[in-house]
Every structure is written in C-alpha cells, then in structure tokens.
C-alpha cells in the first residue's frame, strides 16, 4: 500500500512540474483554432 501511495505522489509531482508545458500546448492549439475559424469566416 505504501508503494501505491508513493507512486501516486510521484505522479502528482510530475503533473505539477509539467503543467506549464501543458498550458503552452493548450494555448497554441486554441490560438490556431480561433485563427482558422476567423480565416474561414473571412473567406466566405
């Protein structure tokens, strides 16, 4: 049981360390999506 608790704590730490990278990726994807949506409105 202690090993499971340690493993989930390590996973939580890994997620906390990579949160900024996930936010960068989400920001880029949202920006590309909005840009393509505006581009499709302009070309209609």
Length of the chain: 44
Q: Where are the domains of the chain?
A: 20-44
| DSSP structural state of residue 18 | T
pTM, full prediction: 0.61
CA dihedral 9, 12, 14, 19 (to 10 degrees): -160
Least confident of 19-23, 31-35, 40-44: 40-44
What is the arithmetic mean of pLDDT over 4-32?
83
- Rounded to whole angstroms, the Cα distance separating 12 from 1 reads 17
20: its two tokens: 């900024």
């Amino acid at each position: 049981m202690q090993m499971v608790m340690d493993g989930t704590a390590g996973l939580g730490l890994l997620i906390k360390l990579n949160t900024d990278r996930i936010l960068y990726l989400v920001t880029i994807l949202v920006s590309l999506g909005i840009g393509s949506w505006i581009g499709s409105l302009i070309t209609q």
